Amino acid sequence: MRIAGLLKAGTLSAALLFSGASSPPSEQPLVPLEGAGWELVWADEFEGNALDPTKWTPEVSCWGGGNNERQCYTDRPDNIAVEGGVLLLKAKKERFAGPARPPEIAGRDNPTQVQSHTSGKVRTIGLHAWRYGRIEARAKVPPGQGAWPAIWMMPNDPAYGPWPRSGEIDILEAVNIGAKCKDCAGGVGENRTISALHFGDFAPLNRYVDHRNALPSLALPSDDFHVYAVEWGEGLIRFLVDDRVHLTVTADQWSTAAPSARGNPAAPFDQPFYIMANLAVGGRLSEENNAKGVAASSFPAQFAIDWIRVYRCASDPSTGRACIR
């Protein structure tokens, strides 16, 4: 998710592509995962009947993620639940009022804001962050025009400055799944998920590299669970779905305008990042594409996450490169 037009860092919301130009990914064949030596260092299998507060903090805010999204994120069981070994982020249509912004970007003045929907968002901010490794999630995305689930990462400490100078890693975005799509193969509507990196300078000079990926079967990703992953090493980041690489990005394709990063080609993706998972409602990326707007029939919706796991490269934890081949 992208935080469009905001001169700050620290929370995710993806706002696609209104500012900045996309760099086309280099030609990447879809190949089975190769590499070895990953060592599990953190995981949540979502056992029990409640979110683990030692691992996650729910976001409570109604600011719309910087993308004109329509939800208030709450910490209520109506919107965040752990049931049957699965984390459920639930979006529903209901008028709701809450704080405009999350604490880390609220400032002194944080007025109440009203939105038309509620939903759930969880983050490891202030609890856990990682530099380099493999981060993966087994998840089932919801279908529907206006539904925008995501699993992504933001810098724990924006060392290179506000968004996007300190970077953003989008492992999974699924926008308007099943809605009409003139560019999609398979005859089932929008069947592509998105992975992306965001970097560069403040809007309108922000940049990104992204890729829309369809399953080999061309089925809707909302039909079943799939494993979405990023393998992140110094100067090299690749994204996978069900252990098939669909996007590889190298340091010569990214940059940051931060003066402190001069001479450091790995910046801004050389710092610890934390994980987020959320289900947004509407927003520019969603509402300006496919069937447009937010369909009432898309809600209630739920984003189901079976597990999220973090691995480090046991033989090369300082750069992670030895495990990415």
Q: What is the pLDDT of residue 31?
A: 44
The residue behind tokens 């995962």 is: 33
| CATH T-level fold of 38-323 | Jelly Rolls (2.60.120)
Cα angle for residues 171, 123, 316 (degrees, 5° grid): 55
Please compute, for residue 86, the number of CA atoms within 13 A of its CA located in the half-sphere on the CB side: 14
Residues 22, 13, 218, CA angle at the centre, nearest 5°?
Answer: 60
Decide if 168 is catalytic: yes
pLDDT tens track, the chain, 325 positions: 754 433 323 333 333 333 344 444 444 444 444 556 999 999 999 999 999 999 999 999 999 988 999 999 999 999 999 999 999 999 999 999 999 999 888 888 899 999 999 999 999 999 999 999 999 999 999 999 999 999 999 999 999 999 999 999 999 999 999 999 999 999 999 999 999 999 999 999 999 999 999 999 999 999 999 999 999 999 999 999 999 999 999 999 999 999 999 999 999 999 999 999 999 999 999 999 999 999 999 999 999 999 999 999 999 999 999 999 7
Give 215's contacts (C-beta < 8 A, 6+ positions apart): 191, 221, 226, 241, 242
The residue ranges of every structural domain in the chain are: 38-323
Q: Are 133 and 168 in contact (CB under 8 A)?
A: no
Tally Cβ neighbours within 10 Å of residue 30: 12
Catalytic residue among 168, 190, 234, 287: 168
Question: For residue range 3-58, what is the model confidence (pLDDT) as tens digits?
Answer: 443 332 333 333 333 334 444 444 444 444 455 699 999 999 999 999 999 999 99
How far the first Cα of the chain sits from its last, in Å, is 27
Average pLDDT over the chain reads 91
The pLDDT, as a whole number, for residue 267 is 98
Query: What is the C-alpha to C-alpha distance for residues 132 and 152, in angstroms, rounded to an integer?
Result: 14
Residue 73 identity (one-letter amino acid):
Y
Does the annotation mark 234 as catalytic? no
DSSP β-bridge partners for residue 121: 278
Catalytic: which of 69, 173, 190, 234?
Answer: 173
Pairing of strands 121-123, 273-281: antiparallel
- HEC states along the chain? CCCCCCCCCCCCCCCCCCCCCECCCCCCCCCECCCCCEEEEEEECCCCCCCCCCCCEECCECCHHHCCECEEECCCCCCEEEECCEEEEEEEEEEEEEECCCHHHHCCCCCEEEEEEEECEEECCCCCCECCEEEEEEEECCCCCCEEEEEEEEECCCCCCCCCCCCEEEEEECCCCCCCCCCCCCCCCCCEEEEEEEEECCCCCEEEEEEEEECCCCCCHHHCCEEEEEEEECCEEEEEECCEEEEEEEHHHCCECCHHHCCCCCCCCCCCEEEEEEEEEECHHHHCCCCCCCCHHHCCEEEEEEEEEEEEECCCCCCCHHHCC
